[in-house]
Amino acid sequence: MKIAVCVKQILDPELPPSAFEIDKTLQQAKTGNKAQVLDPYSGNALELALQLKDKRPDVKVTALTFGNSKAEDVLRKCLGVLVDEAIHVLYERMLVPDSYATAMVLAAAIERTGPYDLILCGRQAGDWDAGLIGSLLGEMLSMPSVCFVSKLDFSDHGIMIERYVDGGTQVLASDMPVLVTVTNDETNVIRIAKVKDVMKAHRKPILRLEPNQLDIPEADIALVKASAGIQDLFIPEQVSNCEIIEGEDPGEKVEKLLVGLKQQKLF
């Protein structure tokens, strides 16, 4: 059984606001030597794949990423937690962070290296927060997709899927192949790698592909051309109208707060 996990390297979402800068010509955040990390939801997806691998030894997990040469770091991280194979679709300069283009390239790489029984993506990436790749991939690969999955397990014939929806948790049974996008849950926090494995990961091979080696449908290319254009990227001005409540002691502060809240008829 083959599982593909699409992972992404992103600018550290916990980068302090004071260190965040924008490159106006590229319409992207400057990376420079700032930390770049495995997108947290990619991590959740990866963990679910590894949990399936823990349960059945015949599961082979492939980590797949699309990005520049720096993005190799996240594949090394995946190899460190013992995925079986890593594929890097290398593209040095992606001028526009475009979801269609990314999905298209990933779909072609999946077609090229597949077939896979299960494809996992993060529900969205923590940089542009688009949340489109998974669903677009499903469409492009003509594969059913299920969003916001928190847990996966094998069932008699296919796979059991737990997902968060409004009002509760839905448990689904599905045949394979199927694509799921993964959301965070206390049970799918990415595991800590053994240092031994991390060291070995640096010597493992990575399959590198260039986008022009991939077979991308004309219609999809047309879609990319027609897709969104970023007009502007800017840091919004923060206007604060916060009233810091001063007081001699905590008691006085609470009193003053309650007076304010009552004035606003908040309760």
Partner 1 sequence: MVPGREIYWNISGYLFQYLFLGCSLAICTYGFWRRYRKWRAGTPSNRSGAVKKRIVTVAKQMISHSRIFGYPFTGIFHYSLVMAFFVLFLGTTAVFFEADFGIQILSGKFYLYFQSLALDTAGFVALIGIGSAVFQRFVLKPKRYQNMSAGVTTLIGLFVLLLSGFLVEGLRISATADPWGRWSFLGYAVSLPMTGIDIATLKGLHQFFWWFHLGVAFGLIAYLPFSKLKHIILGPLNIYLQRLGPKGITVDPIDIENAEKLGTESIADFSWKQLLDLDACTECGRCTDFCPVSLSRQPFSPRNVIVELRNSFDRSFIKNRTVKNQEAKTPLVLETIGSETIWLCRTCRACMEECPVFIEHIPKFIEPRRYEVMENANFPKSLHDPIESLESRRHAYRGTPLSRSDWFKSLNIPVIDKTTDVELLYWVGCTTALNEDNWSIARSVSSLLARAGISFAVLGDEEICCGEPARRIGNEYLFETVARENIAILDQYRFRAIITACPHCFNMLRNEYQDFQSVYTVYHHSEYLWYLISSGKLKIEQPLHKTITYQDPCYLGRYNGIYDKPRGIITKANTIPPFEMKRSKKRSFCCGGGGGGAWLGDENVPVENRVNIQRAHQVAATGTEVLATACPFCMMMLRDGIKTISESGKPEVSDISEILHSACRRQ
Partner 2 sequence: MSEIVVFCRIKNGKPTRNSLEGIGAGFKVAGALGISVGAMVTFKPGDEGAFEELIAHGAETVYAVQVVEEDSLYSETGLYAAEKVCHEVKPRLVLLVADTDGKDVGPRLAYRLGAGIVSECIDLEVDGTDNGVYGLKPVYGGKALARIAARKIQVFTLREHAFEALEKDTGRKGEVKKIDVGLRPEAQNIRQIDFIEEEHAGIKLEEADIVVSGGRGVGGKNQFQKIEELSKIFKGAPAASRAAVDAGWAPVSYQVGQTGKIIAPNLYLAIGISGASQHLAGISGSKCIVAINKDPDAPIFRSAQYGIVEEYQKILPILKERIKAMLV
215 and 108 in contact (C-beta within 8 Å)?
yes
199 binds partner 2, rule: CB under 8 A: no
The DSSP output letter for 212 is G
Touching partner 2, residues 141-160 (CB under 8 A)? 144-148, 150, 158, 160
User: Among 9, 31, 36, 183, which residue interacts with partner 2 (rule: CB under 8 A)?
Assistant: 183
Residue 170 φ then ψ, to 5°: -100, 135
Q: Which does 175 bind (CB under 5 to 8 A by kind): partner 2, partner 1, none?
A: partner 2
Could you tell which of partner 1, partner 2, none binds residue 198, using a CB distance below 5 to 8 A set by kind?
A: partner 1
CB nearer to partner 2: pick between 63 and 147 = 147
Sites for partner 2 among residues 76-95 (CB under 8 A): none
Determine the straight-line distance between the first and last CA of the chain, rounded to whole angstroms.
57
Rule CB under 8 A: say whether 175 interacts with partner 2. Answer: yes
Residue 205 makes contact with partner 2 by CB under 8 A: no
CA distance 62 to 73: 15
Among partner 1, partner 2, none, the one that 267 touches (CB under a kind-dependent 5 to 8 A) is partner 2
CA nearest neighbour of 34 among 51, 15, 7: 15
Binding residue for partner 2, selected from 131, 193, 206, 207, defined by CB under 8 A: 131
From CA 62, how far away is CA 75, in angstroms rounded? 10
Residues 27-56 that bind partner 2 (CB under 8 A): 27, 29, 41
Per CB under 8 A, residues contacting partner 1 are 12, 14, 16-19, 33, 35-37, 191-196, 198-199
CA–CA separation, 18 and 122 (whole Å): 27
Nearest 10 degrees: Cα torsion 201, 205, 210, 215: -110
